[in-house]
Each structure stands twice: as C-alpha cells, then as structure tokens.
Amino acid sequence: MYMENSVITNILTRRSIRKYKQQQIPTEVLNRILDCAVMSPSALNKQPWQVRIIQDEKLLTDVNDTFIRWAKGKQLPGSASRAQEEGFSVFHHAPTLIIVAADKTNNYAPIDCGILAQTIMTAAHSLGIGSCVIGSMAQATDNDKHIKNDVLAIDDDHTVIFGIALGYADETPIVKDRDRSKIRLISYRQ
C-alpha cells in the first residue's frame, strides 16, 4: 500500500535539470525558496554554511570562465568534460546560481549543506523551478580568491562545496532507474 501526498509526489517527481529557459525566477519565488532553505535542519542548529545567490549575467559569466580556466587540461566526469567546448556553461545556462560553502571547522558541515541543498531543490520543484547540483564547480570557485573572497564574500574558514543551478526547465528528463537494493531494513525482533 502506497501513501501519497504532495510532499511525497514532489520528492518522487523531481529530476536534475540541465537545460533551462532564460526567464529569470521572480523575486518572490526565489525568496520563498530561501525561506525554506533557512529552515533546513543542521547538527545543533549550527547552520554551518554561507550561501550566495547569483543572478547577474556578468557575474554568472565570470564564475563560468573561472571554471573553464580551472578545468583546462583536466579529465573531468560528466558534462564538465566538455568545459573547453564553445558555449559551455558549468551550470547549464541557468539564470540563477546558488553557491554553497561549508564551515571548515565543523565536521558535520558537508552533511548539513547536503540537507540544505535537498531543501532548496525540493522547495524549488514544488514551485515549478528546476534545479541541478553542480559539484564540479566547487574546487574552481574555492581556489579563485578573487571570486571566493572579493566577489562572493565567502570567508576563508568556509570552503565552496557545490553550486545549485535554478531556473525554469526547458526539458523533461526521463526517469532513470534507481537501485533500491542499496537500502536495507535491518530489524531485530524478539
């Protein structure tokens, strides 16, 4: 017997989007997503993250160019392997990019930031906004002191761990198989 409600449906229907319309997310929609983000659970409610939202086209280009320079000569997986191709965008030309940095002094920060990302993407999907985690951009952004410290104002005690592309989907990805065998119920009954 399956139980259905809007939360479960939202989780089961969300897909990573890698093609976006250029229509910008309205401010009120973005703010509602961010309202949800700040409610993300974290260990001891430390909220060990710094989050930056970029919608400015020039800054998006600068961040993308930083990645392309960093990626030159590297063997990267997935879509990042096409970094030297004309028109490449590490964040798939999404009109909004969220950068998430984790507190280096907090052992639970990467986990908490992952929870934050899931909250952002689930909230976005519920409002008709597509999303995709961009893990490949973390090192490039974190290693460029001008982008990290001056432009994004991310403190040195935080490390960029991923980006999240946000925008209106211009594709409908097929549902890929999931491996349920990786999740097992261990139960001891007396």
Residue 2: its pLDDT value, please? 72
Predicted confidence pLDDT, tens digits, the chain (190 residues)? 678 899 999 999 999 999 999 999 999 999 999 999 999 999 999 999 999 999 999 999 999 999 999 999 888 888 888 988 999 999 999 999 999 999 999 999 999 999 999 999 999 999 999 999 999 989 899 889 999 999 999 999 999 999 999 999 999 998 888 999 999 989 877 6
Smallest CA-to-CA distance from 46 within 104, 124, 96 is with 104
* DSSP code per residue over the chain: -----HHHHHHHH--B---B-SPPPPHHHHHHHHHHHTT---GGG---EEEEEE--HHHHHHHHHHHHHHHTT----GGGGGTTSTT--TTTT-SEEEEEEEETT-TTHHHHHHHHHHHHHHHHHHTT-EEEEEGGGHHHHHH-HIIIIIIS---TTEEEEEEEEEE-BS--PPPPP--GGG--------
Name the residue with tokens 């961010």.
Answer: 34
Contact by Cβ (8 Å): 148, 104? no
Residue 75: its pLDDT value, please? 87
Domains in the chain, please, with CATH? 17-172 (3.40.109.10)
